[in-house]
Chains A and B, each alone.
Chain A
């Protein structure tokens, strides 16, 4: 029999090892999955996880993919640190893309230097406003933020689809659900010739540094950490839970909005209905897998971007549906949550004694009579 027993102190070692264990378990399950699909597991894992990044171009594509994921995940980590269950990065990203595009389309025939900054700013504000709705409903109306942010995701998606079919559709686009192509002045500059790696990477590095300093060195960051660890203590210390919750939601929304705006004005270059293959949801996994720490998140985000690329690769080279990405994402989160049990509990294997003799129950005097 397996039994779990609470540890006196949460294990520090396992806090670091459990994400690694989760990744290893996911790879093993992946190998089993591939071989049950009639593939050579070693070869399939190689195609999925190594072949996308074999050359420099592959690595640059990996970085392109991880830009939106990381921007969302840094923001989400702040929310989760303050125990605000924001599931809405996806919707915030979509709104950032939508509002950013609406701004970018004002500059279609212009080479103003303001085109790009204003597009990004509009994206940030769009995402932050979308998160602001969730913050308002949570803090003033006391609604459950999980359900609110999920609903806002679906609303944002439908708004985006409506916009590309309606007001933002390219008038010269033969009725395709796409916006006009953005002007060159709006497009984020490419960092290295011959790749698609754009300025967004700089935003990621800035966000990494700022969030890291913010969480570990500033007083507000400290308040957020205390709030997440012990609500009562935060209240006793006089930290305002409402203000902190609103702050983390707005920052997360702004970062996700920036991610959306960087996607439409970066690799995509116009507004299309499918600007995100679920980056906002993947970022939730990334935040947890990275232990809510900026550095851990960065590593986890690279892995997640690799899983996205591996899914595409599996479709091309192994003729498997690219939805395999979702399976790996779900597996990795399941395994992480399962491995996390080792932080607070230790597993004890209890074997029944070999000659287990049932205790005899002798009748008591009163019963015997």
Chain B
């Protein structure tokens, strides 16, 4: 690899290292809490990469939804369930099967991303946020609405499950 030419490149590499390190630590550590924090670091670093790739909106949404939402939710669930917090994770059943599944999935994703041609898309639109908004409520309206329906269904499902427990 050639020497980094400017601050952006150097930051890109730095974020990449943090992301890879965070992801690795998240699966290696036996403390569930540390795993979640590492996941948060990984997600934040990915948001940094998005920002450097001129995808400001995606970067902020990444922080909003994943770091401020999902990670907080995981911490919240972990702390309310309590058992996993102070004790290391118990060994899972059939670790060989799990490892085989995880490795083959990871290898598949890696192979796919290395062999897929990613053509350059050309110039960015002047106002990317504007273009994104128009696409979401225009050409992509059906998928956008469908995601909304799926989320609504999951919320209702969660409510039903919680209510059953109480009876």
A and B form one complex:
no
**Chain A residues at the B interface, C-beta cutoff of 8 Å:** none
**Chain B residues at the A interface, C-beta cutoff of 8 Å:** none
